[in-house]
Amino acid sequence: MIQALNLAKEIRDEITNWRRSLHKMPELGLFLPKTAEFVKRKLDRWGIEYITYRDNSGIVAHIGKEGGKVLALRADMDALPIKEETGLDYASENENMHACGHDCHTAMLLGVAKILKEHEDQLNGYVKLFFQPGEEGPGGRPVMIADGCMENPKVDAIYALHVGGVGEGMKPGDITLMYGPYSAADDQFDLYVKGRGGHGASPHLCVDPVVVATTIIQTFQTIVSREIDPTEPCVITVATLQAGRGAENIISDTCYMRGTVRNSTMENRNYVLSRMEEVVKGICMAMRADYDFKLDYGYVPVVNEKHMTDMLIASAQKVLGEDGVHVGGRQGMGGEDAGFYYQLVPGCFFNLCCTTAHSDGNVYPAHNSKFTVDDSLLYKGTAVFVQAVFDYFEE
């Protein structure tokens, strides 16, 4: 029987140091040359075979015996365009920041790679490690799937994790997970309302795009409050609204808005996006305006399959004990492009509780310039992954 926690603990300092090295050099989007080179150097050192791609910085490492079941483990590698304000000794050395923990995910998966390679003769299956770019946008999963990461050999199931906060009744280093929907469908929209500008004192000679736009915004909210089951989360947020150039007596020709739409199910997603288009068309027609409406279809929900979740719970309890594994909670409305993998194969997505307080005493959320993680706990995520791999193949 493999001792996953002990094996991960032996390389705890290495995992921490890998994370801190990655934290210093955050990169954005699909092309992460320094990050990818860092990962490849480790894989080369351990004698692990891997595949790279021409049109993105994704890496798929291969470990184990072909011919049996194939399990994928995924870690995202990209950062955010945020100027870091943590004051850490290993803070970002450029204008970007790993403010969502992807450096942690990459370091944990490197730990998995090292341990599995050292115990490859004990594996009764084949593991594919996905080091994925672009999760924060434009989405690294679609390009990697298009490049064939789920094939040759075909993936049967997948696990992935994310660093998260320490909730009530939990302790640092615990994990949390849930059955069913984990994250939301994440879509964006752009709308230009085209009116007819003129003098602010003569609105009857104009078509005021600001009035049209605000009517649309209010009606969008009635889709959420009056057309969607209130027990099913739905969010329409207009994050940007722009018109005019600062004058007080000019009605603008156009008004622009941009926002995000989050839905808990694909059924609601399809309904809400369709209704938004109908609302825009109907209100603009009624108020004599033209429009240009664009929907940017983003990420689908991550949905944890029951059997894979059952297995992950059992594996995690072997590593962390029953009191270190917390099952339940509510679906989050954040987007996660791992959902596209989970549409193809069953899987489970879980959280490692390891965010910690900034030096000012406050715990800041992901995507904040002061987001801080206790990276001495990352080895526990590696250990859960390793245990889950062996248990999956032994089932």
CA–CA distance, 284 with 276 (Å, rounded to integer): 12
Q: Is residue 100 within 8 Å of 80, Cβ to Cβ?
A: yes
Active site residue ranges:
78, 135
Which amino acid does the sequence have at 169?
G
Q: List Cβ neighbours of 22 (8 Å cut-off, separation of 6 or more).
A: 35, 38, 77, 98, 103, 106, 107
Radius of gyration of the chain (CA): 24
